[in-house]
Amino acid sequence: MIDKGYLLGERYRIIDTLGEGGMANVYLAKDIILQRKVAVKVLRLDLQKEPQTEARFQREALATSELSHPNIVSVLDVGNDQGLPYMVMEYVDGPDLKEYIQKNSPLDLHEVIRIMDQILSAVALAHKHNIIHRDLKPQNILMDKRGNVKIADFGIAVALNQSSVTQTNSVMGSVHYTSPEQTRGGWVTKQSDIYSLGIILYELITGHVPFNGDALVAVALKHAQEPIPSIRKKNPAVPQALENVVLKATAKDPRDRYASAQEMKADLDTSLDFSRKDEPIFVPNHGMSDDETIILPGFKPQIDKQQDEDKKTDDQKQKAETKPGFLQTVKKHKWWFIFIGIASFLIIFIMIFALSGKNAQQKIYVPDVTNVAEGKAKIKIENAGLRVGTVKRQHSDSIDAGKVIETTPSAGDSVAKGKSIDLIVSSGAGMVKVPNVVNMDYDKAAQKLEKLGFDVIRENQYSSDVDSGNVISQSVAAGVQVKPKQTTITLFVSQGKLQKPKSTMITLKNLKNYSLTSAQDYAKDNGLTLQINEEYSDTIDKGMVISTQPAAGTKVERGSTVTIKVSKGAKESEEKTVNITKNFTVDYVAPQPSDSKSQESEGNHVQIYIKDDDHSLGNIYRDLYIKHDMSFSIPFSLKDGSGQLKVIRDGKTILNEKVTK
């Protein structure tokens, strides 16, 4: 873990921890150059020397940096801090989609389609760049304060044109959203992402995932073998056309799914149309047997060669000259015995191959033993059908001694039965030798100590021997071994020599835009007492001096009190964005005899324009044709003032009104 306050890459100040994962930790940080909050993903310290993990981390950075889309988290920077790879991304201040569903379910179906459209649009771009996400799930989809989604975590994404896209590289994502072909160790394609999108759509509609189980393998088997539970049986209000989108996206055979994310989006966008109200239930064209085995590409059983030799032998035997008598009988039986022997060998070979193939396909999910005592963790791993591999010890500030920090492979990964699982076990918080920072510049000394995990306090003193700004002494002597997390070091910093005042009167300096610390130092040096008042300011940064009383340039006596106003920063607007929904109905007007045939066949041409925080009247919000009365529910995001709704039917404005909070 990286401590709060650490300056990563000499630019990103760590503020807080956002999350911890098997491969990387994510931190909230501040970009001290651009003065904005960012999210920083840092490869875990203990994984730096693992080529596969570092390659996966670099693959995520590469995959995400190639994608520029409003619904994909942007990569802002990639770097390396003293051998520690990190990736800087835009910070999305909001919940993930999983939390949003849990809090707001059941969602309005129009809201479901709005959210899903954004997800599909982002995935379509990734697929256009031949990048498969492979771990699409609500937990990897963030939502900003306006309700817009951002897809994150391309940690196991892979490019289709990479040679690594084989069965051995078919890394599985979360099992509740994983396609049947991934659970079987098969090829991962764009249709695998589409299956995950279908499960996400199911959860948006119902509020829960289709399959659950006591063990991950049980959930995986359900995805591979059981049909998706009917949505309409539990909620008949869901149109069949919308359920069909889920059924097609989650078909067991990838050939029955949508060919692309764009195709799925187009089908979804019309799923609530009245014209599709009598649509029959989707039925896939292909099936998948429960015992289907994935055959590795390029493998050709050796049986074929043996069968060819048998056939060649039989042909030669049939062409051989027939001789009467005992010799002919012996030869006939001889070839018969040889044939039986070869056939028996082939049968045994096939059985061994089939059994070994079956065992090779058997996969086990690595149990999560994080923060579990070493002994119990070993038992849990062995009970899962796996073996305990090497056990390494490592200091940890967050995991107690004797408990597991992590495993390799990571918890939840799919591995073969009998696979060795390596453990890293905590040996408790580590001891660190305090460095000598005496006579160092304070900023450099504090940075050196903070990187080691110490809290640092500054205390200023006058000194005739040490230059101003340098460390006079330290509260904990150099060379002492301590635990950084439990130790605070005070640095006594020189203010230079104490200057005796030449007179009792001084001219007050202009302290505007000075930091509070600098103002206090000035007051101390000149024998003044400060009274501090705080107020908001749109022009002066937080923590900086706005003005003094008396004003700058005034002569004051040493020992007198000076009042300074310190900025609290700009006052945040109390206005909040309000989300409202406007419901209305557009009546269908039958064509007149004088109307053209195209008007009669297409119906009424309806154009909807809206104005809110996200839309302007200059752009069409919806453009469609209707052949019957149609109701609409339009969401508005209002913060500044009011919005506006305008509806045009066949070129005539039929509705034009303001929408207020």
> Please, are residues 238 and 195 in contact by the beta-carbon 8 Å criterion?
no
User: What CATH number is associated with residue 627?
Assistant: 2.60.40.2560
Tell me the average pLDDT of the chain: 82
Does residue 192 sit in the same domain as residue 206? yes
User: What CATH number is associated with residue 379?
Assistant: 3.30.10.20
246 domain-assigned: yes
End residue of a domain, out of 444, 473, 494: 494
Say what the pTM is: 0.46
Does residue 247 sit in the same domain as residue 141? yes
Print the domain residue range for 344. 332-361
User: What CATH number is associated with residue 148?
Assistant: 1.10.510.10
Query: For tokens 């619904």, what's the residue?
Result: 71
Total number of domains constituting the chain:
7
Please give the single-letter amino acid code of residue 412: G
Token duo for residue 373: 């005592």
Does residue 153 sit in the same domain as residue 55? no
CA distance 551 to 555: 9
CA angle (209, 215, 219) in 5-degree steps: 40
Does residue 341 sit in the same domain as residue 369? no
Cα 304 → chain centroid? 47
> Please, are residues 146 and 613 in contact by the beta-carbon 8 Å criterion?
yes
CA distance 331 to 335: 6
175 domain-assigned: yes
3-state helix, strand, coil in the chain (%, to 5): 30, 25, 40
From first CA to last CA, the distance across the chain in angstroms is 45
Query: For tokens 């997800």, what's the residue?
Result: 119
**Helix H or strand E encompassing 249:** helix 240-249
For residue 426, list its beta bridge partners: 394
286 domain-assigned: no
Which pLDDT score, from 0 to 100, does residue 644 have?
93
Does residue 185 sit in the same domain as residue 224? yes
Measuring CA to CA, which residue among 215, 87, 229, 240 is closest to residue 153? 87
Beta strands in 67-160 (DSSP E): 75-81, 84-90, 131-132, 141-143, 149-151, 158-159
CA distance 243 to 236: 10
Does residue 372 sit in the same domain as residue 512? no
> Please, are residues 612 and 645 in contact by the beta-carbon 8 Å criterion?
no
285 domain-assigned: no
End residue of a domain, out of 91, 121, 137: 91
Which pLDDT score, from 0 to 100, does residue 622 have?
94
Selecting among 81, 96, 135, 153, the annotated active-site residue is 135
Measuring CA to CA, which residue among 210, 214, 149 is closest to residue 180? 210
Does residue 127 sit in the same domain as residue 143? yes
Which pLDDT score, from 0 to 100, does residue 613 have?
86
153 is catalytic: no
Percent of the chain topping pLDDT 70: 81
As a three-state string, the secondary structure of 396-427 is CCCCCCCEEEEEECCCCCEEECCCEEEEEEEC
- Enumerate residues 6+ apart whose C-beta is below 8 A from 545: 511, 512, 513, 514, 515, 516, 519, 564, 565, 566, 567
298 domain-assigned: no
Query: For tokens 């060795």, what's the residue?
Result: 420
Does residue 83 sit in the same domain as residue 100? no
Please give the single-letter amino acid code of residue 56: R
315 domain-assigned: no
Does residue 639 sit in the same domain as residue 532? no
User: What CATH number is associated with residue 28?
Assistant: 3.30.200.20
Does residue 516 sit in the same domain as residue 411? no
Which pLDDT score, from 0 to 100, does residue 573 have?
62
Measuring CA to CA, which residue among 462, 446, 536 is closest to residue 499? 462
Annotated binding site for ATP: 41
CA distance 241 to 278: 8
For residue 433, list its beta bridge partners: 481
Torsion angle of C-alpha atoms 168, 174, 177, 181, degrees rounded to 10: 10
CA distance 471 to 443: 10
pLDDT tens, residue by residue, 608-648 = 999 998 899 889 999 999 999 999 999 999 887 789 999 99
The residue ranges of the chain whose pLDDT is under 50 are 155-173, 289-334, 337, 348-349, 351-361
521 domain-assigned: yes
Does residue 345 sit in the same domain as residue 482? no
Q: What is the biggest distance separating any 2 CA atoms in the chain, rounded to whole angstroms? A: 142
Query: For tokens 């918080």, what's the residue?
Result: 429
CA distance 131 to 64: 9
Does residue 368 sit in the same domain as residue 356? no
End residue of a domain, out of 69, 91, 113: 91
Which pLDDT score, from 0 to 100, does residue 401 have?
81
Annotated binding site: 41
> Please, are residues 461 and 474 in contact by the beta-carbon 8 Å criterion?
no
> Please, are residues 204 and 116 in contact by the beta-carbon 8 Å criterion?
yes
353 domain-assigned: yes
Measuring CA to CA, which residue among 461, 109, 464 is closest to residue 270? 109
